[in-house]
Every structure is written in C-alpha cells, then in structure tokens.
C-alpha cells in the first residue's frame, strides 16, 4: 500500500513538472518568435520609457546580469542585442526556474511590482513579450518550489525571501 501511494504521488509530481516545463517552453517560444521589428524597437530607444528599462533590467537579472551592469541603458541595449552562444535568445532558452536563486527572484518581483500587463503592452509590444517571459518564469519558479515543499511533507511553506541587493547579486 505504501508503495502504491508513493508511486501515485511520484506520478502526479511528474505530471506537474511536465506541465510546468510545457508552460515555460511556450513562454520561451513567444520570445523566440518575436518579430525582428518588435525587438529592434526595444533596442533602438535612446531614452526608453522607464518601464522598458525596468523590464529589461529585471529580465537580465533573471538571466544572471546583476543590476550594476544594467543601470545604464546603453549597456542594457548591448546585452539585449548579443548574439551567439552567450546571446539573449540562447540564454532565454537555457534559463530554468530550478536554477534561479530565491533572492534574485525576489528582487525581480520587486522591480516588476508596480507594472501592470496592460501598461506594459501599451508601452511596447516587444517589451511586453519579454515581460511575459520573465513573469512567467517567476510563476514557474514559485509553482515548482511549492511542489517541492508539498513533496517534503515537513509543513514548511516557501519562506519570505529578502530581495538581493546589488552587492548580493554580484556574490550570487
């Protein structure tokens, strides 16, 4: 009986992971299929709307770029336009929620806190797609952490995590 119960639990967990991965791949696909004019619109701003810079910085933070590197819009633009093995699209595809640091996720959430989907969409369709990927990645991170906590059956829920300061981001 214990074996059967454990197998049912593992089977359900496997389905949750598969569904999560499918959602993540849909988000990644949305970024990859962006029209080049939408993406070049984002990259060609000389002085972007504050939401554009915030979203780019937070998304790049999730991809491993600390905020000291993304404070300057020109540097953000360069990172957004990088091609090749370290290119943005390659990094989006390889970014997995399980590899994110909780303090980095908390900081990205803090940056996104005052942005609404409607406002972002009204500013730029290109940045809206990137925003959707980043916020979706964060949702998948939390969904997987919740499943891990449930599997442990230790009663611990996901703890409130302090957002990473720039100094902490550099350490991480």
pLDDT at 66 over 80: yes
pLDDT at 83 over 70: no
| Range of weakest confidence among 58-67, 72-81, 94-103, 147-156 | 147-156
Q: How far apart are the C-alpha atoms of 126 and 25, rounded to whole Å?
A: 18
Per residue in 24-44, pLDDT (tens digit) is: 788 777 877 777 777 778 888
Task: Report the first-to-last Cα separation within the chain, whole angstroms.
Answer: 44
């Amino acid at each position: 009986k214990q074996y059967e119960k454990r197998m049912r639990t593992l089977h359900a967990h496997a389905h949750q992971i598969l569904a999560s991965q499918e959602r993540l791949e849909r988000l990644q696909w949305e970024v990859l299929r962006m029209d080049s004019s939408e993406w070049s619109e984002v990259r060609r701003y000389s002085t972007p709307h504050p939401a554009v810079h915030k979203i780019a910085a937070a998304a790049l933070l999730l991809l491993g770029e600390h905020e000291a590197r993304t404070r300057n819009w020109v540097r953000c633009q360069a990172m957004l336009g990088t091609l090749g093995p370290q290119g943005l699209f390659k990094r989006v595809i390889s970014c997995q929620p399980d590899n994110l640091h909780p303090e980095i996720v908390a900081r990205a959430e803090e940056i996104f806190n005052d942005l609404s989907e409607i406002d972002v969409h009204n500013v730029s369709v290109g940045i809206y797609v990137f925003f959707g990927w980043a916020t979706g990645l964060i949702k998948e991170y939390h969904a997987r952490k919740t499943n891990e906590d449930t599997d442990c059956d230790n009663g611990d829920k996901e703890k409130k995590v302090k957002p990473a300061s720039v100094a902490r981001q550099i350490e991480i």
